[in-house]
Amino acid sequence: MSELVRHYIGGQWVESSETFDSLNPATEELVAPVAKADAQQVDAAVQAAKAAYRDWRLTPAPRRGEVLYAVAQLLTERKEALSRLMTQEMGKVLSEARGDVQEAIDMAYYMGGEGRRMLGYTAPVEMPDKFGMALRDSVGVVGLVTPWNFPVAVPSWKMLPALVAGNCVVWKPSEETPAVAAAFVKVFEDAGLPPGVLNLVLGAGEAGNALVSHPDVRVISFTGSTDTGLKVYQKAAALGKKVCLEMGGKNAIIVLDDANLELATKAITWSAYGTTGQRCTATSRLIVQSGIKPKLIEALIERARVLKVGDGLQEGVEVGPLVNQKALEKVERYVGIGRDEGAQIVIGGGRPDTGRGFFYNPTLFSEVTPSMRIAREEIFGPVLSLIEVDSLEQAVEVNNSVPFGLSSSIFTENVNNAFRAIRDLTTGIVYINHGTTGAEIQFPFGGTRGTGNGMREAGTTALDSFTEWKSVYVDYSGRLQRAQIDNREG
């Protein structure tokens, strides 16, 4: 039997009296038993973070950045092992798991550089012999709650900026991916991060609640389902905390009559069925102009015919399992809803004959209308809904009509159409002639409407969640200066 996966609190790997199991969704076999944190252990982790904060905030930022560079190097060395463990634990195919780890490597280098930037600014001030500047300051202990679909990349978007800015972290990863989370934290330990600066607590709702409601945690950064995210938001807001949310998506690819068909077909297949549709950026709607619709459906059927579903560790497999039984049941339920709503199944619509594992065949519905539930609600599985439109204007309107606003895409060879789409699509991420997935860490990541609460991760915005602005005025006149015009002295 595999070794127990433990929490990492104050630089120690610790157990709990209770445990739970982490399963492989392709084989339904045990990956490892896992320690399950209760509220006391979460509190111990927060206390460890608080204690470590005294020194970590005073460690010069370039030194903190160097730890991140060491993390990047170790992650590179361990990329293959981490990727394999990720595939075993949550099912995505190995090549995608490698991409997940690579995102964390990229982020570690990017945020390592922040150690020598962390830019603030100066501006002129109203009085003589006076100086003004605005600095970024750390906030203290931050709590991270992260999902299983990007078990290394998404946490890295949060913890790397948080750490380089001088905060200490308590991280509660999804209960679906504890082993890969522990292996990721081990990288920080081996890279020389001081004890208590990063703490890991494993478990589900109880641990998450304890973290979100802990009075000493000033910021909560959450990525996950809309349901849970809104609960986290309410709980934390009631305690006056800053909350950064990344939640659902219902992303669309628009294909206009003037699109490159081959390119669109490849991108749609990858964005809709890659990671088994379990990305918040996955394509779950296809908005197609009437003229190209028959050809596009034909090409998608052709492509789906050779799409290999199976264990993500096996060579040649392109679509792995869903993460668990519950996710599979949700997909089955929504396919039933789509059928009842009158949509037509063109591809898939059932489970492959694998015997075990939470597999579902890539599925395409056509004859979907924008008001159907399968066109509005997040399914988080390999289910794509095709909506036919007459024009670019109608396509944009349909795209913007859903409660989410993360990612959108348009395929057109016409530069005027492309720029109109850039102007009018109301999502946080817009792609031209590329699927809805594949965001890079040097640009802001996040969405409008129900996808979030206005925050962005990564890019030049990465530090915003984890820093406060401190405006500093230095009066070096040696006397009490009052503004010449009284009503300007605020």
- Write out the catalytic residue numbers: 246, 280
Please report, for the chain, how many H helices and E strands are present, in that order.
13, 21
Is 96 or 464 the residue whose CB approaches ligand UN1 more closely?
A: 96
Q: Does residue 154 sit in helix, strand or coil? A: helix
Q: Which of 149, 251, 409, 412 is in the footprint of ligand UN1 by CB under 6 A?
A: 149
Rounded to the nearest whole angstrom, what is the least distance from the CB of residue 333 to ligand UN1 in the complex? 22
Closest CA to 250 of 405, 132, 130: 405
Whether the CA torsion 204, 209, 215, 217 is positive or negative: it is positive
Closest CA to 153 of 440, 435, 406: 440
Rounded to the nearest whole angstrom, what is the least distance from the CB of residue 236 to ligand UN1 in the complex? 20
Contact pattern from residue 327 through residue 366 relative to ligand UN1, giving x for each residue in contact according to CB under 6 A and a dash for the rest? ----------------------------------------
Is 8 or 150 the residue whose CB approaches ligand UN1 more closely?
A: 150
Is 53 or 404 the residue whose CB approaches ligand UN1 more closely?
A: 404
Q: Are strands 130-138 and 121-122 parallel, antiparallel or unpaired?
A: antiparallel
Rounded to the nearest whole angstrom, what is the least distance from the CB of residue 441 to ligand UN1 in the complex? 8
Is 268 or 280 the residue whose CB approaches ligand UN1 more closely?
A: 280
Q: Which of 150, 222, 358, 411 is in the footprint of ligand UN1 by CB under 6 A?
A: 150
Rounded to the nearest whole angstrom, what is the least distance from the CB of residue 282 to ligand UN1 in the complex? 7
Is 372 or 439 the residue whose CB approaches ligand UN1 more closely?
A: 439
Is 103 or 464 the residue whose CB approaches ligand UN1 more closely?
A: 103
Is 278 or 366 the residue whose CB approaches ligand UN1 more closely?
A: 278
Is 120 or 438 the residue whose CB approaches ligand UN1 more closely?
A: 438
Is residue 184 within 8 Å of residue 63, measured between CB atoms? no
Rounded to the nearest whole angstrom, what is the least distance from the CB of residue 459 to ligand UN1 in the complex? 12
6's tokens = 């433990």
Rounded to the nearest whole angstrom, what is the least distance from the CB of residue 394 to ligand UN1 in the complex? 26
Task: Compute the distance between CA of residue 439 and CA of residue 461 in angstroms, rounded to an integer.
Answer: 14
Q: Looking only at residues 245 through 304 of this chain, which bind ligand UN1 when binding is defined by CB under 6 A?
A: 279-281
Q: What angle do CA 124, 127, 131 make, to 5 degrees?
A: 50
Contact pattern from residue 82 through residue 121 relative to ligand UN1, giving x for each residue in contact according to CB under 6 A and a dash for the rest? ---------------------x------------------
Closest CA to 304 of 415, 383, 199: 383
Tally of CB atoms within 10 A around 315: 9
Closest CA to 3 of 40, 31, 44: 31
Is residue 323 within 8 Å of residue 176, measured between CB atoms? yes
Is 149 or 467 the residue whose CB approaches ligand UN1 more closely?
A: 149
Q: Which of 26, 49, 52, 154 is in the footprint of ligand UN1 by CB under 6 A?
A: 154
For residue 148, CA distances in Å to 10, 14, 109, 225 come to 24, 22, 23, 11
Rounded to the nearest whole angstrom, what is the least distance from the CB of residue 244 to ligand UN1 in the complex? 14
Query: 480 CB contacts (<8 Å, ≥6 apart)?
Result: none
Helix axes 61-77, 79-90, angle to 10 degrees: 70
Q: How many residues bind to ligand UN1 according to rule CB under 6 A?
A: 10
Rounded to the nearest whole angstrom, what is the least distance from the CB of residue 438 to ligand UN1 in the complex? 5
Task: Compute the distance between CA of residue 182 and CA of residue 194 in angstroms, rounded to an integer.
Answer: 16
DSSP string for 156-182: HHHHHHHHHTT-EEEEE--TT-HHHHH
Backbone angles phi, psi at 348, to 5 degrees: 70, -135
Task: Compute the distance between CA of residue 417 and CA of residue 411 in angstroms, rounded to an integer.
Answer: 9
Is residue 252 within 8 Å of residue 429, measured between CB atoms? no
Task: Compute the distance between CA of residue 368 and CA of residue 363 in angstroms, rounded to an integer.
Answer: 13
Q: Which of 11, 352, 438, 444 is in the footprint of ligand UN1 by CB under 6 A?
A: 438
Is residue 252 within 8 Å of residue 409, measured between CB atoms? yes
Rounded to the nearest whole angstrom, what is the least distance from the CB of residue 277 to ligand UN1 in the complex? 10
Q: Which of 68, 159, 252, 439 is in the footprint of ligand UN1 by CB under 6 A?
A: 439
Q: Looking only at residues 378 through 437 of this chain, which bind ligand UN1 when binding is defined by CB under 6 A?
A: 437
Tell me which residues touch ligand UN1 (CB under 6 A).
Answer: 103, 149-150, 154, 279-281, 437-439
